Structure 1
Amino acid sequence: MHKNEKITVEPCRAGRLDAFLAEAVPEVSRSFWKTLIQGGRVTLNGGACKPNQKLKTGDELCWTLPEEGPSEPQPEEIPLNILFEDDALLVLNKPPGLVVHPAVGNSTGTLLHGLLFYDPVFQTLERAGIVHRLDKDTSGVMVVAKSAKALEELRRQFKARETEKEYLALVWGRPPESGRIETLLGRHPRHRKKQAVLEEGGREAVSNFKTLETFKEVTLVQVKIETGRTHQIRVHMAHLGHPVVGDSVYGRARKHNLPMMPERQMLHAAKLGIAHPGSGKRLSFEAPLFDDMHQLLELLRNG
């Protein structure tokens, strides 16, 4: 684990201590940060602090994260919204709020734990057959391998960019009718768990977008990605000046007249195309929207 890390609060980023840390290091949940702060693992300007303490520009934070234990993930009964299943693969619609892999502060209750419970075959596979991931608060279609052979073949397809990935995103403002965003993407120079568009270094990231519906303050766009970088769509749309609605990391708080303000980023993996790892037949899976995004769109359409 990363120990004795340090960060200086920048202008426009002050706020509650626990909320600030949860944004700066999103792999650790806000509730776990609260526990760490109360346990004395976080210092503010060299002294003790409280979770609800207000930060100001120039404040210096230091923290120590505990070592992860060697314990193996245990099966947990977690509802899975299954779209398709056979002997080689399982396709599901991941709900918002479900973490894919265990991490600091999310050592239980992940998709991996649910797969281990659902079918013992996943206990025999590396990472329970998971070949790709979605952010905690991004919903949508995911494919999981059910055999070592399928795992190897699906990994090859994702690496070779032979998969088709299509997302729906509700973004602020009115982006162009369509466009292609091609940048270098890598770790933010100051915020360790935040990604950023870089002038040099980083890895190639390509997103193609198209406007589907335009509302007064927001726009529904379809985004097809050619690469699968961490936070790619969220960073690319923010870079374009149209961050995803509800994105607390890459967006910003703003006044609005939306009928409801979502509690997570309005980003959904709507379609996934792959070749079946056994037969080679081309398959395409579609995942319906979850209630929060569906409800907001219906309210906008009827407004």
Structure 2
Amino acid sequence: VVSILIPAPPARNVTPESIPLQILHEDADLVVINKASGMHVHPGAGRPTGSLAAALLHHCEGNLASGGGPDRPGIVHRLDRETTGILVAAKKDAAHRELSRQFRERETEKTYLAFVLGRPRGDAGTWEGAIGRHPVIRQRMAVRSRGRTAKTDWKIISCWPGASLLELKLHTGRTHQVRVHASAAGCPVAGDPVYGGTNPLTRAAQVPRQLLHAHRLSFTHPRTGEYLSFEAPPPTDFAAFQSYLDER
């Protein structure tokens, strides 16, 4: 019998970095941030610096929960690199465990805003396509019969020729959930090159990214039991695209 010992990969440690953060709330247990576009939540292959985790380590002077692992200190949940909006991070391990449980048990409330190309059928509805890894392009997700359950409520806020502004409530937290559901419904998120969200309209308007924003997050404080709700206003690129649509 031949035994092969494969060593575990070395743990990655995040180096604190002085990166500006928009703090919406902070106490002894947690911190709520309005994440900017272009920022990864944690380091990864080919992107060792510039992460939210590194910025939080600097801001909190190293006082972050270890539950997320050595490369994800304090991180409870994630947003895509180009998605803006609200994130909560934990300073203490007990807070990390309880917040993670709330996300896992779907006890949090997550509301997004998104510009999409075209218009969904109707004024409001629910997308429930299961989501799994794309069968060919492994970096993408897709609606698949054997995927994981996913549910997104949506309603139209405003419409223009060729585009709509939606409010979306997520009941689950699948990777790329809004982007995949919107694309499968024939109205991809504007500016999203991965899921079909670029066209002459977005190029003419110089849309810089996928226009998806985590607008509101509600949860129970892990220590006090107080129900908390936070909102982050959409960034300037939302207003710029709306102005372009209004003036066409």
Alpha-carbon distance between aligned partners in 2 of 1:157 and 1:93, rounded to the nearest angstrom: 20
The higher-RCO structure (CA 8 Å, 6+ apart) is: 2
State the percentage of identical aligned residues.
44
2:231 aligns with: 286
Large movers: runs of 4+ above 4 Å? 68-71
Farther-moved stretch of structure 1 (166-175 vs 293-302): 293-302
Kept after mapping to 2: 8 A contact 1:116/1:123: no
Equivalent position SS for 1:238: helix
Kept after mapping to 1: 8 A contact 2:191/2:202: no
2:186 aligns with: 241
Equivalent position SS for 2:18: coil
Per-residue CA deviations over 1:46-103 (Å, capped at 9, x if unaligned) read xxxxxxxxxxxxxxxxxxxxxx864422111111110011111100100010000111
Does 2:27 match 1:81?
Answer: no
Does 2:52 match 1:111?
Answer: yes
1:26 aligns with: none
Equivalent position SS for 1:268: strand
Aligned length: 236
The counterpart of 1:226, out of the listed 171, 180, 184, is 171
Alpha-carbon distance between aligned partners in 1 of 2:202 and 2:18, rounded to the nearest angstrom: 40
Closer, same or farther in 2 for the Cα pair 1:265/1:131, shift >3 Å? same
Flag structure 1 segments of 5+ consecutive residues without an equivalent: 1-67
Letter in 2 for 1:117: H
Does 2:102 match 1:157?
Answer: yes
Does 2:127 match 1:186?
Answer: no
2:3 aligns with: none
Equivalent position SS for 2:151: strand
CA apart distance, 1:251: 1.0
Does 2:136 match 1:195?
Answer: no
Kept after mapping to 2: 8 A contact 1:259/1:300: no
Kept after mapping to 2: 8 A contact 1:259/1:296: no
Letter in 1 for 2:243: E
Does 2:55 match 1:94?
Answer: no
CA apart distance, 1:107: 0.9
Kept after mapping to 2: 8 A contact 1:172/1:242: yes
1:28 aligns with: none
Letter in 2 for 1:263: P
RMSD: 1.8
